[in-house]
A = this chain, B = another copy of it.
Amino acid sequence: MAQNKLGKRSIRFANPVAVRAWASVAGKKEAEGPLGAEFDFTDNDTYFGQASWELAEKAMQEKALDILAGKAGMRKQDFELVLSGDLLNQCIGSAFTMRNTGIPHIGLYGACSTMALSMLTGSMSVSGGFADRVVAMTSSHFAASERQYRFPLGYGGQRTPTAQWTVTGSGAVLLCPESKGIQVPCATYGVVTDFGIKDAANMGCAMAPAALETIRTHLEDTKSSLEDFDCIFTGDLGQLGKEMLMELASREGLQFGGKLMDCGNLVFDNTAQDVHAGGSGCGCSAIVLCSRILGNLQSGKWKRVLFCGTGALLSPTSTQQGLPIPGVCHAVRLEGEM
Protein backbone atom coordinates (compact mmCIF):
# COMPACT_ATOMS: atom_id res chain seq x y z
CA MET A 1 0.00 0.00 0.00
CA ALA A 2 1.16 3.51 -0.82
CA GLN A 3 3.04 4.69 2.26
CA ASN A 4 1.40 8.10 2.40
CA LYS A 5 -2.20 6.97 2.04
CA LEU A 6 -4.48 7.45 5.02
CA GLY A 7 -7.66 5.40 5.17
CA LYS A 8 -10.02 5.45 2.24
CA ARG A 9 -9.00 8.52 0.29
CA SER A 10 -6.83 10.79 2.37
CA ILE A 11 -3.10 11.34 2.17
CA ARG A 12 -0.46 12.56 4.58
CA PHE A 13 2.50 14.73 3.72
CA ALA A 14 5.24 12.83 5.55
CA ASN A 15 7.91 15.27 4.43
CA PRO A 16 6.63 18.55 5.85
CA VAL A 17 4.87 21.15 3.73
CA ALA A 18 4.47 24.72 4.98
CA VAL A 19 2.49 27.65 3.64
CA ARG A 20 5.36 30.13 3.67
CA ALA A 21 3.48 33.11 2.26
CA TRP A 22 0.14 34.06 0.74
CA ALA A 23 -1.37 36.88 -1.28
CA SER A 24 -4.87 38.11 -2.04
CA VAL A 25 -6.08 40.48 -4.75
CA ALA A 26 -9.71 41.60 -4.89
CA GLY A 27 -12.15 43.90 -6.63
CA LYS A 28 -14.21 46.88 -5.50
CA LYS A 29 -17.23 45.02 -4.16
CA GLU A 30 -15.02 42.61 -2.22
CA ALA A 31 -13.08 45.57 -0.80
CA GLU A 32 -16.36 46.98 0.49
CA GLY A 33 -17.25 43.66 2.16
CA PRO A 34 -16.52 42.44 5.68
CA LEU A 35 -12.99 41.22 4.81
CA GLY A 36 -12.06 44.30 2.76
CA ALA A 37 -9.32 45.48 5.10
CA GLU A 38 -7.61 42.10 5.11
CA PHE A 39 -6.81 41.79 1.40
CA ASP A 40 -3.30 42.60 0.20
CA PHE A 41 -4.45 44.58 -2.82
CA THR A 42 -7.78 45.85 -4.09
CA ASP A 43 -8.69 47.92 -7.14
CA ASN A 44 -11.75 50.05 -7.80
CA ASP A 45 -11.32 49.42 -11.54
CA THR A 46 -13.08 46.18 -12.47
CA TYR A 47 -10.82 45.99 -15.54
CA PHE A 48 -7.65 46.16 -13.42
CA GLY A 49 -6.24 48.43 -16.13
CA GLN A 50 -6.86 45.88 -18.91
CA ALA A 51 -8.90 45.93 -22.11
CA SER A 52 -11.29 43.13 -21.10
CA TRP A 53 -12.59 41.37 -17.99
CA GLU A 54 -10.84 38.20 -19.09
CA LEU A 55 -7.53 40.03 -19.21
CA ALA A 56 -8.39 41.57 -15.82
CA GLU A 57 -8.33 38.05 -14.45
CA LYS A 58 -4.83 37.61 -15.82
CA ALA A 59 -3.83 40.94 -14.26
CA MET A 60 -5.16 39.83 -10.87
CA GLN A 61 -3.21 36.57 -11.01
CA GLU A 62 -0.05 38.42 -12.05
CA LYS A 63 -0.52 40.85 -9.17
CA ALA A 64 -1.05 37.97 -6.74
CA LEU A 65 2.19 36.33 -7.94
CA ASP A 66 4.09 39.61 -7.57
CA ILE A 67 2.80 40.22 -4.04
CA LEU A 68 3.48 36.61 -3.10
CA ALA A 69 7.08 36.84 -4.29
CA GLY A 70 7.52 40.09 -2.36
CA LYS A 71 6.10 38.67 0.85
CA ALA A 72 8.28 35.57 0.52
CA GLY A 73 11.36 37.68 -0.11
CA MET A 74 12.10 36.19 -3.51
CA ARG A 75 11.71 36.95 -7.19
CA LYS A 76 8.85 35.56 -9.22
CA GLN A 77 11.42 33.64 -11.27
CA ASP A 78 12.36 31.73 -8.12
CA PHE A 79 9.03 29.89 -8.12
CA GLU A 80 9.70 26.35 -9.33
CA LEU A 81 6.16 25.27 -10.18
CA VAL A 82 2.76 26.96 -10.37
CA LEU A 83 -0.44 24.92 -10.15
CA SER A 84 -3.43 26.99 -11.16
CA GLY A 85 -6.75 27.10 -12.91
CA ASP A 86 -9.79 29.32 -13.21
CA LEU A 87 -13.37 29.43 -14.46
CA LEU A 88 -12.79 30.96 -17.89
CA ASN A 89 -13.31 28.54 -20.77
CA GLN A 90 -10.02 26.70 -21.38
CA CYS A 91 -8.62 28.36 -18.22
CA ILE A 92 -7.19 31.25 -20.23
CA GLY A 93 -6.79 33.37 -17.08
CA SER A 94 -4.13 30.98 -15.87
CA ALA A 95 -2.59 30.31 -19.29
CA PHE A 96 -2.07 34.00 -20.07
CA THR A 97 -0.68 34.65 -16.58
CA MET A 98 1.96 31.96 -17.04
CA ARG A 99 2.82 32.97 -20.61
CA ASN A 100 6.55 33.49 -21.11
CA THR A 101 7.30 33.48 -17.38
CA GLY A 102 9.50 30.40 -17.79
CA ILE A 103 7.90 28.91 -14.67
CA PRO A 104 6.68 25.29 -14.99
CA HIS A 105 2.91 25.10 -14.96
CA ILE A 106 0.36 22.43 -14.13
CA GLY A 107 -3.12 23.51 -15.24
CA LEU A 108 -6.00 22.33 -13.07
CA TYR A 109 -9.75 22.39 -13.39
CA GLY A 110 -11.86 22.00 -10.28
CA ALA A 111 -14.39 24.84 -10.69
CA CYS A 112 -14.72 26.63 -7.32
CA SER A 113 -12.72 23.85 -5.59
CA THR A 114 -9.57 24.88 -7.45
CA MET A 115 -7.82 26.58 -4.50
CA ALA A 116 -8.02 23.43 -2.37
CA LEU A 117 -7.25 21.21 -5.38
CA SER A 118 -4.15 23.21 -6.24
CA MET A 119 -2.96 23.10 -2.62
CA LEU A 120 -3.53 19.34 -2.40
CA THR A 121 -1.72 18.64 -5.67
CA GLY A 122 0.97 21.22 -4.93
CA SER A 123 1.59 19.69 -1.49
CA MET A 124 2.13 16.29 -3.16
CA SER A 125 4.79 17.85 -5.38
CA VAL A 126 6.55 19.48 -2.39
CA SER A 127 6.34 16.50 -0.05
CA GLY A 128 7.35 14.12 -2.84
CA GLY A 129 10.49 16.15 -3.44
CA PHE A 130 9.55 17.27 -6.96
CA ALA A 131 9.82 21.03 -6.32
CA ASP A 132 10.72 23.31 -3.42
CA ARG A 133 8.87 26.56 -4.08
CA VAL A 134 5.42 25.72 -5.33
CA VAL A 135 2.60 28.17 -5.92
CA ALA A 136 -1.06 27.14 -5.73
CA MET A 137 -3.26 29.83 -7.24
CA THR A 138 -6.65 30.60 -8.73
CA SER A 139 -8.92 33.49 -9.67
CA SER A 140 -12.39 34.44 -10.84
CA HIS A 141 -14.08 37.58 -12.12
CA PHE A 142 -17.74 38.48 -11.66
CA ALA A 143 -18.28 40.15 -15.02
CA ALA A 144 -16.34 37.56 -17.04
CA SER A 145 -18.27 34.75 -15.32
CA GLU A 146 -21.67 36.36 -15.80
CA ARG A 147 -21.29 36.68 -19.53
CA GLN A 148 -19.77 33.26 -19.93
CA TYR A 149 -22.14 31.29 -17.70
CA ARG A 150 -25.32 33.36 -17.60
CA PHE A 151 -26.18 36.62 -19.37
CA PRO A 152 -24.21 39.60 -20.67
CA LEU A 153 -24.25 42.22 -17.91
CA GLY A 154 -25.82 44.80 -20.24
CA TYR A 155 -28.86 42.54 -20.59
CA GLY A 156 -29.82 43.44 -17.03
CA GLY A 157 -31.18 39.98 -16.17
CA GLN A 158 -32.72 39.42 -12.73
CA ARG A 159 -30.76 37.12 -10.48
CA THR A 160 -32.70 34.44 -8.58
CA PRO A 161 -32.83 34.52 -4.76
CA THR A 162 -30.68 31.37 -4.65
CA ALA A 163 -27.97 32.78 -6.93
CA GLN A 164 -24.46 33.50 -5.68
CA TRP A 165 -22.24 36.38 -6.73
CA THR A 166 -18.94 35.40 -8.38
CA VAL A 167 -16.04 36.95 -6.50
CA THR A 168 -13.62 39.15 -8.41
CA GLY A 169 -10.31 38.17 -6.93
CA SER A 170 -7.24 35.99 -6.95
CA GLY A 171 -5.42 34.16 -4.18
CA ALA A 172 -2.03 32.47 -4.19
CA VAL A 173 -0.05 30.55 -1.60
CA LEU A 174 3.60 29.51 -1.58
CA LEU A 175 4.19 25.93 -0.44
CA CYS A 176 7.68 24.97 0.76
CA PRO A 177 9.30 21.89 2.36
CA GLU A 178 9.60 23.38 5.85
CA SER A 179 8.53 22.26 9.31
CA LYS A 180 8.16 25.82 10.63
CA GLY A 181 5.12 28.01 10.11
CA ILE A 182 1.65 26.99 8.98
CA GLN A 183 1.68 23.30 8.08
CA VAL A 184 -0.25 21.19 5.60
CA PRO A 185 -0.12 17.78 7.31
CA CYS A 186 -2.74 15.93 5.29
CA ALA A 187 -5.54 16.23 2.76
CA THR A 188 -8.50 14.34 1.33
CA TYR A 189 -9.10 13.83 -2.39
CA GLY A 190 -12.54 14.77 -3.67
CA VAL A 191 -14.95 12.45 -5.44
CA VAL A 192 -17.52 13.67 -7.96
CA THR A 193 -20.92 13.48 -6.30
CA ASP A 194 -24.23 13.97 -8.04
CA PHE A 195 -27.38 14.59 -6.03
CA GLY A 196 -29.51 15.18 -9.13
CA ILE A 197 -29.88 18.94 -8.63
CA LYS A 198 -30.41 20.68 -11.95
CA ASP A 199 -30.89 24.34 -10.97
CA ALA A 200 -27.76 26.15 -12.14
CA ALA A 201 -28.84 29.13 -10.02
CA ASN A 202 -28.59 27.03 -6.86
CA MET A 203 -25.11 25.63 -6.96
CA GLY A 204 -24.62 25.69 -3.20
CA CYS A 205 -27.13 22.89 -2.82
CA ALA A 206 -25.55 20.95 -5.69
CA MET A 207 -22.19 21.03 -3.88
CA ALA A 208 -23.34 20.40 -0.29
CA PRO A 209 -23.47 16.57 -0.58
CA ALA A 210 -19.89 16.51 -1.89
CA ALA A 211 -18.78 18.68 1.03
CA LEU A 212 -20.41 16.37 3.56
CA GLU A 213 -18.91 13.28 1.92
CA THR A 214 -15.40 14.74 2.04
CA ILE A 215 -15.61 16.17 5.58
CA ARG A 216 -16.90 12.85 6.92
CA THR A 217 -14.23 10.91 5.04
CA HIS A 218 -11.49 13.24 6.28
CA LEU A 219 -12.56 12.73 9.89
CA GLU A 220 -12.73 8.95 9.46
CA ASP A 221 -9.49 8.60 7.50
CA THR A 222 -7.50 10.72 9.94
CA LYS A 223 -9.25 9.34 13.02
CA SER A 224 -10.21 12.80 14.16
CA SER A 225 -13.41 14.55 15.19
CA LEU A 226 -14.87 18.02 14.91
CA GLU A 227 -13.49 18.81 18.39
CA ASP A 228 -9.99 18.67 16.92
CA PHE A 229 -10.69 21.67 14.69
CA ASP A 230 -11.24 25.34 15.38
CA CYS A 231 -13.17 25.70 12.13
CA ILE A 232 -14.34 23.73 9.13
CA PHE A 233 -14.30 26.08 6.15
CA THR A 234 -16.29 25.25 3.06
CA GLY A 235 -15.86 27.37 -0.01
CA ASP A 236 -18.27 28.28 -1.36
CA LEU A 237 -21.67 26.91 -0.61
CA GLY A 238 -23.25 30.26 0.22
CA GLN A 239 -26.07 30.64 2.71
CA LEU A 240 -28.40 28.02 1.24
CA GLY A 241 -25.75 25.44 0.58
CA LYS A 242 -24.38 25.89 4.08
CA GLU A 243 -27.84 25.33 5.55
CA MET A 244 -28.27 22.25 3.38
CA LEU A 245 -24.89 20.89 4.49
CA MET A 246 -25.85 21.38 8.15
CA GLU A 247 -29.19 19.65 7.55
CA LEU A 248 -27.61 16.68 5.73
CA ALA A 249 -24.91 16.40 8.38
CA SER A 250 -27.32 16.49 11.30
CA ARG A 251 -29.29 13.61 9.73
CA GLU A 252 -26.09 11.60 10.06
CA GLY A 253 -25.49 12.79 13.61
CA LEU A 254 -22.76 15.27 12.70
CA GLN A 255 -23.42 18.59 14.49
CA PHE A 256 -21.09 21.39 13.43
CA GLY A 257 -22.14 23.71 16.23
CA GLY A 258 -20.62 27.06 15.41
CA LYS A 259 -17.56 25.55 13.72
CA LEU A 260 -18.82 25.49 10.15
CA MET A 261 -17.97 28.61 8.18
CA ASP A 262 -18.41 29.15 4.49
CA CYS A 263 -16.17 31.39 2.40
CA GLY A 264 -19.12 32.40 0.21
CA ASN A 265 -20.99 33.48 3.30
CA LEU A 266 -18.11 35.51 4.73
CA VAL A 267 -16.82 37.50 1.78
CA PHE A 268 -19.87 39.75 1.34
CA ASP A 269 -22.55 41.17 3.56
CA ASN A 270 -25.23 39.15 1.73
CA THR A 271 -28.08 41.54 2.53
CA ALA A 272 -26.44 44.96 2.49
CA GLN A 273 -24.42 44.12 -0.62
CA ASP A 274 -27.40 42.51 -2.40
CA VAL A 275 -25.55 39.36 -3.38
CA HIS A 276 -28.46 37.03 -2.55
CA ALA A 277 -27.09 33.66 -1.33
CA GLY A 278 -23.45 34.82 -1.00
CA GLY A 279 -20.19 34.72 -2.92
CA SER A 280 -18.86 32.04 -5.25
CA GLY A 281 -16.20 31.45 -7.89
CA CYS A 282 -12.68 30.04 -7.64
CA GLY A 283 -11.50 33.38 -6.29
CA CYS A 284 -13.93 33.31 -3.37
CA SER A 285 -12.37 30.59 -1.24
CA ALA A 286 -8.96 31.73 -2.49
CA ILE A 287 -9.18 35.28 -1.13
CA VAL A 288 -10.83 34.18 2.13
CA LEU A 289 -8.05 31.63 2.61
CA CYS A 290 -5.38 34.22 1.80
CA SER A 291 -6.74 36.77 4.26
CA ARG A 292 -8.86 35.63 7.21
CA ILE A 293 -8.00 31.91 7.38
CA LEU A 294 -4.21 32.03 7.03
CA GLY A 295 -4.16 35.28 9.01
CA ASN A 296 -5.89 33.71 11.99
CA LEU A 297 -3.68 30.64 11.79
CA GLN A 298 -0.61 32.83 11.78
CA SER A 299 -1.75 34.97 14.70
CA GLY A 300 -2.48 31.86 16.74
CA LYS A 301 -6.19 32.62 17.03
CA TRP A 302 -6.86 29.31 15.31
CA LYS A 303 -4.72 26.18 15.62
CA ARG A 304 -6.31 23.78 13.14
CA VAL A 305 -8.65 24.35 10.22
CA LEU A 306 -10.06 22.06 7.54
CA PHE A 307 -10.21 23.97 4.26
CA CYS A 308 -12.77 22.31 1.99
CA GLY A 309 -12.91 23.62 -1.56
CA THR A 310 -16.24 22.84 -3.20
CA GLY A 311 -16.86 22.93 -6.94
CA ALA A 312 -19.93 22.63 -9.16
CA LEU A 313 -18.78 20.76 -12.27
CA LEU A 314 -21.36 22.06 -14.72
CA SER A 315 -21.10 23.97 -17.97
CA PRO A 316 -23.75 25.98 -19.81
CA THR A 317 -23.82 23.11 -22.33
CA SER A 318 -24.53 20.45 -19.71
CA THR A 319 -27.26 22.64 -18.21
CA GLN A 320 -28.84 23.25 -21.63
CA GLN A 321 -28.81 19.51 -22.22
CA GLY A 322 -30.82 19.02 -19.02
CA LEU A 323 -28.04 17.29 -17.11
CA PRO A 324 -27.67 17.53 -13.34
CA ILE A 325 -24.84 19.37 -11.59
CA PRO A 326 -22.08 17.13 -10.20
CA GLY A 327 -20.20 18.52 -7.21
CA VAL A 328 -16.73 17.88 -5.85
CA CYS A 329 -14.96 18.79 -2.62
CA HIS A 330 -11.23 18.55 -1.93
CA ALA A 331 -10.09 19.13 1.67
CA VAL A 332 -6.74 20.34 2.96
CA ARG A 333 -5.88 20.45 6.67
CA LEU A 334 -4.02 23.52 7.88
CA GLU A 335 -2.28 23.81 11.26
CA GLY A 336 -0.72 26.83 12.91
CA GLU A 337 2.44 26.42 14.92
CA MET A 338 1.39 24.27 17.87
Binding site for B on A (CB under 8 A): 1-5, 9, 11, 14, 51-52, 54-55, 80-81, 85, 87-92, 94-96, 98-111, 117, 120-121, 124-132, 148, 177, 189-194, 313-318, 321, 323, 326, 328
Kindly provide the distance from the CB of A333 to the nearest chain B CB, expressed in whole angstroms: 15
Kindly provide the distance from the CB of A292 to the nearest chain B CB, expressed in whole angstroms: 26
- Least CB separation from A84: chain B residue: B109
> B residues within 8 A CB of A95?
192, 313, 326, 328
A-B contact pairs, 16 of them (CB 8 A): A2-B131, A3-B129, A5-B132, A51-B321, A89-B317, A90-B111, A90-B313, A95-B326, A96-B323, A99-B194, A100-B326, A102-B191, A104-B191, A105-B328, A106-B121, A107-B110
- Least CB separation from A132: chain B residue: B2
Q: A92-B314, A103-B191 are in contact. Are A11 and B117 (CB under 8 A)?
A: no
The docked-state distance in angstroms from the alpha carbon of A111 to that of B99 is 15
Q: Decide if A5 touches B131 in the complex (CB within 8 Å).
A: yes
Q: Decide if A105 touches B190 in the complex (CB within 8 Å).
A: yes
The docked-state distance in angstroms from the alpha carbon of A129 to that of B189 is 14
Q: A191-B101, A192-B95 are in contact. Are A128 and B124 (CB under 8 A)?
A: yes
Q: Decide if A109 touches B111 in the complex (CB within 8 Å).
A: no
- Least CB separation from A149: chain B residue: B90
Q: Decide if B191 touches A98 in the complex (CB within 8 Å).
A: yes
- Least CB separation from A52: chain B residue: B321
- Least CB separation from A95: chain B residue: B313
Q: A92-B317, A130-B11 are in contact. Are A189 and B104 (CB under 8 A)?
A: yes
Most buried by B among A88, A99, A103: A99
Kindly provide the distance from the CB of A126 to the nearest chain B CB, expressed in whole angstroms: 8
A54 CB contact (under 8 Å) in B92, B101, B148, B321: B321
Q: Decide if A101 touches B315 in the complex (CB within 8 Å).
A: no
Q: Decide if A2 touches B177 in the complex (CB within 8 Å).
A: yes
Known: A92-B318, A107-B110, A128-B129. 5 other contacts (CB 8 A): A4-B130, A90-B314, A96-B318, A106-B120, A107-B117
